[in-house]
Structure 1
Amino acid sequence: MALDVATFETICPSRFISFSIPCPTRSDSRLRVAVLDSPIPTTDSPLVAAMFVPEGRETDWIFSTESGHLQLLFGSPAMSRLILIGNQFHDGDLSPPVYHRPVKSSLHRKGLDDDEELCKPLLLALCPRSLFKNGIPEIPILSYEDNLVSGVVIHKCVGCLVGEMLVEDVEIESESGVDGCVKREFRRRLRFKRMPNLIQTEIPIIPDTHFRSISGGIGEVGFLPDLRVLVHPYLAPMVASLSLISEHIDGQIQRGLRPNALCLGVGGGALLTFLRNQLGFEVVGVDADKEVLRVAKNCFGLEDSEFMHLVIGDAIKFVQKLSHNANWHPFADGEDVNRKFDVVMVDLDSSDVRSGVSAPTLEFVKRRVLLGTKLVLSEFGILVINVICPSRSFYCKLVHDFEDVFQELYKIDVGNGENFVLIATVSPQVSLVRDCSNSFFMRLKSVIPEAYINSITKI
């Protein structure tokens, strides 16, 4: 069935159409064209732009799904229509075994040479009629740039709550070292299809020592998780919050007690593993999707062990149950069931491609949930939350709701323009710890950047 060009004469909010056409430079190839209209109604002067899909990444969720297109469109404020053009792929295609960034510019690649000029008539035909009232319009060509040098998908699966997800090993660009040489950095990432341009979890990986040579790259050698360092932007700041209660934690250790943490939201488990391995915590992690926990164990080095307890279930319901029944504990065998947590760390977000990402979830900031969380904390405990504010009003309400339940609030700016860490205390803090002779604080400073500790400010 032929596609009627008149279909594109008006902007139709949320309309998504994709089709294929013969490649103008190669008779044996076809191009995939996707047209997405913004779900946000536009004025009489729509803004239209085009983007060419990087060669080799045609099957990436960012470029091959409607949710990926939406994230690209929302990345350009006030955009009314986005047109994507790339090499044709089929729904059943597997991801390429290994992706390597082409040496040539993205606008000069196989099958799409001189694509701006060759595709200009097509782009004009896909523009709304109102764009021509002042003559033939110029269609800006957007570029997609990220730090990905190479990558390979090592696992795909479907979670009952999060939907489709994938795990990929990647090499990323890094700043040159002190000797002027380019530093190679390898990471393992977890992504969800519902928000394909968002990295849910990222950890360092190192070449498997079973390989004689470690000079190879992605697809050439095997890699293992490196659990000694936190590289996801907000995780080290979350851990830095422990400096506020370092004397309390050190006192626990001196009495022969392991400090304990409750982590709501597990993801790849990097935070949980770091707390246990690097800081000696006993950790309880709660996640509602059992497939996420399975992936964390199989791909990200998370282990269910003596001092690492993993729970499949709703995080908020778990806290509520724990706070209402002092005699209930999921790991009560021979343990002090009345012992409360030194820290509760929350990494729960509301992820929707149309409304964006916000954290924590609205359900968590309800008064009954905050009061329940306070009840499971010890006298000197703290609540630590990864926060993403979609608006100023969200931030103001968040602070007001927490001030209504907890003694004091502190925050740490992550530095990426998106996240900050909110810290709520059960008891007043005498002062912000900047230096301390206790062994826990010294250990903390040795495993995370001290700059995060020094940047803690009271709200």
Structure 2
Amino acid sequence: MALDVRIFENISPSRFISFTIPNPNSSSHLLRVAVLDSPVQSTESSSPRVAAILVPKYRESDWIFSTESGHLQLLLNLPDISRLILIGDDPDGGSGFPAVFHRPTGDEDEFERLEMRLKPLVVALSPKTLIRDEFDDVPFLIYDDNVVSSIELEKSVGPFVGEMLIEDVEIEIDHGVREFRRRLRFKRMPNLVQSDIKIIPRVSSSRSIFSPSLTGTEFKLDLTELVHPYLVPMVASLSLIDYHSDKFKCRPKALCIGVGGGGLLSFLRLQLGFEVTGVEIDPEVLRIARQYFGLEESSARVHVEDGIEFLKRCSSTCDDDDARFDVLMVDLDSTDPIHGMTAPPVEFVANDVLLAARTLLVPSGVFVINVIPPNKAFYQELQGKFRHVFSELYEIDVGNGENFVLIATVAPRDLKSGFPRENLTPAVSKKFLDAIHRI
């Protein structure tokens, strides 16, 4: 049945429609067109704004572009856009997509020709309330990230997190400077990297180490460096542990709620000498951390259990400092259909959960948590909950416009008596140590 374009005359919040049409540049392929209206209704009297994105060639099957959740995050990252239209080759239309993605060299003339051919389609898919002059101003946006090439290692499904993708990527971290990473992504939020670690080429006599690629190169994991944006600030928080306390252990103990790829757990054990315990609710995530991200049994003892239940269970039987931890680190998130990802889940900061967490910490210990606040009110309310249970509250702004690290102390703290900075500075930028401030 033919699609009636009149259904696009008005904005309908959260409506998602996808369909295929003949490709004007190829007689053997179809174009997939996906139209999503923003779930956030504008209160302004001005007409709705429309934008289109041409999906990068050979990335058409990437969850970022082929799923509604990926489409939604692209839309929410474009302020004031009411409707976002994605146009790209149909990922279900054949086997023409390579197993290894390589960023194609740009052809601006070809892009402009395709844009001109698709302009009438975009106009037809725009709301009728768009005034005439605005039809010519509907922008075609170019999606650009730092991925130079990528290769899929495995897709898996966890009973709690759903579909997952493990991939190796080559990224451009600076102009002309590239690096190889292993990444874990979840389909429910494909635009975000859940975990990543650096991988480095092994020296090989059969292939030059100066021109490695994802294919034909053997890689090894580098667990000596944390590359995920907020993990380094979380480690910087260790400087608030009361190192000079009489009860401080020669080998400090860390409890990590939320394992992911396990990079933080491995780093704490191998680089800083912590005794590490982890808690992960999804056994498939734990399997992936061990198979692909180098998490070893000797590095951390991991419990497959809900983090809240673990805290409550252990706090009820914790009767001496030897059973307690010097640091509790929490890296958990929840997905909201409007705001995308937020952290932590609201149920994790209930008063009884925070009290259980405090019980599991020694008097010199700290509670460290990754926070992605959807708004200022959420963040202020979160801080209030911590102040009700803990003695002092500190903050590190990660600087990416998204993450904050909150640090709560069981007892008042002297910043000069913390975990030795010389133990941290080889791996932690001094800027994050200096960025710690009491709030």
TM range (shorter): over 0.9
In the TM superposition, 1:52-131 aligns within 5 A as 52-90=54-92, 96-105=98-107, 108=109, 114-131=113-130
Letter matched to residue 4 of structure 2:
D
Letter matched to residue 317 of structure 2:
N
Change in Cα spacing, 1:60 to 1:428, as seen in structure 2 (3 Å) is: same
Correspondence for 2:435: 455
Measured in 2, the distance between the counterparts of 1:402 and 1:135 equals 49
Shift of 1:441: 3.6
In the TM superposition, 1:136-175 aligns within 5 A as 136-175=135-174
Shift of 1:186: 0.7
Correspondence for 2:212: 216
Measured in 2, the distance between the counterparts of 1:157 and 1:19 equals 27
8 Å CA contact retained: 2:50, 2:126: yes
TM superposition score normalised by structure 2 = 0.93
Correspondence for 1:29: 29
In the TM superposition, 1:394-409 aligns within 5 A as 394-409=378-393
Aligned length: 435
Measured in 2, the distance between the counterparts of 1:211 and 1:355 equals 50
Measured in 2, the distance between the counterparts of 1:303 and 1:94 equals 39
Unaligned runs of 5+ in 1: 177-181, 328-335
2:117 aligns to what SS in structure 1? helix
Shift of 1:203: 0.8
Measured in 1, the distance between the counterparts of 2:432 and 2:194 equals 21
Measured in 2, the distance between the counterparts of 1:136 and 1:386 equals 43
Correspondence for 1:414: 398
Shift of 1:37: 1.3
Measured in 2, the distance between the counterparts of 1:348 and 1:93 equals 37
8 Å CA contact retained: 2:29, 2:93: no
Shift of 1:352: 3.1
Change in Cα spacing, 1:244 to 1:136, as seen in structure 2 (3 Å) is: closer
Correspondence for 1:344: 328
Measured in 2, the distance between the counterparts of 1:418 and 1:260 equals 29
1:86-117 alpha-carbon deviations (Å, 9 max, x no partner): 11220886963111111124x555xx661111
Measured in 1, the distance between the counterparts of 2:234 and 2:93 equals 40
Correspondence for 1:276: 269
Correspondence for 1:379: 363
Measured in 2, the distance between the counterparts of 1:417 and 1:132 equals 34
8 Å CA contact retained: 1:195, 1:352: no
1:446 aligns to what SS in structure 2? coil
Shift of 1:166: 0.3
Letter matched to residue 220 of structure 2:
L
2:389 aligns to what SS in structure 1? coil
> 16-25 or 294-303: which moved more?
16-25
* Equivalent in 322, 334, 354 of residue 314 of structure 2: 322
1:370-405 alpha-carbon deviations (Å, 9 max, x no partner): 110000001101001111111111111111111111
Change in Cα spacing, 1:284 to 1:183, as seen in structure 2 (3 Å) is: same
Change in Cα spacing, 1:136 to 1:391, as seen in structure 2 (3 Å) is: closer
Change in Cα spacing, 1:29 to 1:108, as seen in structure 2 (3 Å) is: farther
Pair 1:18 & 2:18 matched: yes
Shift of 1:353: 4.3
Measured in 2, the distance between the counterparts of 1:135 and 1:232 equals 41
8 Å CA contact retained: 1:290, 1:312: yes
Shift of 1:155: 1.1
Shift of 1:252: 4.2
8 Å CA contact retained: 2:52, 2:85: yes
1:249-301 alpha-carbon deviations (Å, 9 max, x no partner): 89745xxx421100001111110000000001111100111111111111111
Letter matched to residue 366 of structure 2:
I
Pair 1:362 & 2:343 matched: no
1:29 aligns to what SS in structure 2? strand
Correspondence for 1:299: 292
Measured in 1, the distance between the counterparts of 2:336 and 2:95 equals 26
8 Å CA contact retained: 2:242, 2:248: no
Measured in 1, the distance between the counterparts of 2:242 and 2:272 equals 11
Change in Cα spacing, 1:172 to 1:75, as seen in structure 2 (3 Å) is: same
1:173-229 alpha-carbon deviations (Å, 9 max, x no partner): 1225xxxxx332111111101011011111111113467432221223122211000
1:199 aligns to what SS in structure 2? coil
Measured in 1, the distance between the counterparts of 2:309 and 2:269 equals 24
Computed over aligned residues only, the root mean square deviation of the Cα atoms, in angstroms, reads 2.3
Measured in 2, the distance between the counterparts of 1:157 and 1:108 equals 40
* Equivalent in 404, 407, 414 of residue 423 of structure 1: 407
Measured in 1, the distance between the counterparts of 2:246 and 2:178 equals 37
Letter matched to residue 59 of structure 1:
S
TM superposition score normalised by structure 1 = 0.89
Shift of 1:350: 1.3
In the TM superposition, 1:183-332 aligns within 5 A as 183-209=177-203, 212-213=206-207, 214=209, 215-245=211-241, 247-248=243-244, 252=248, 257-305=250-298, 307-326=299-318
Change in Cα spacing, 1:190 to 1:135, as seen in structure 2 (3 Å) is: closer
1:13 aligns to what SS in structure 2? coil
Correspondence for 1:39: 39
Percent of matched pairs sharing the same residue: 53
Shift of 1:239: 0.6
Unaligned runs of 5+ in 2: none
Measured in 1, the distance between the counterparts of 2:26 and 2:379 equals 53
2:327 aligns to what SS in structure 1? strand
1:184 aligns to what SS in structure 2? strand
Measured in 2, the distance between the counterparts of 1:194 and 1:416 equals 22
Letter matched to residue 446 of structure 1:
P
Measured in 2, the distance between the counterparts of 1:47 and 1:383 equals 44
Letter matched to residue 120 of structure 2:
P
1:106-154 alpha-carbon deviations (Å, 9 max, x no partner): x555xx6611111111111111111146675421112211111111111
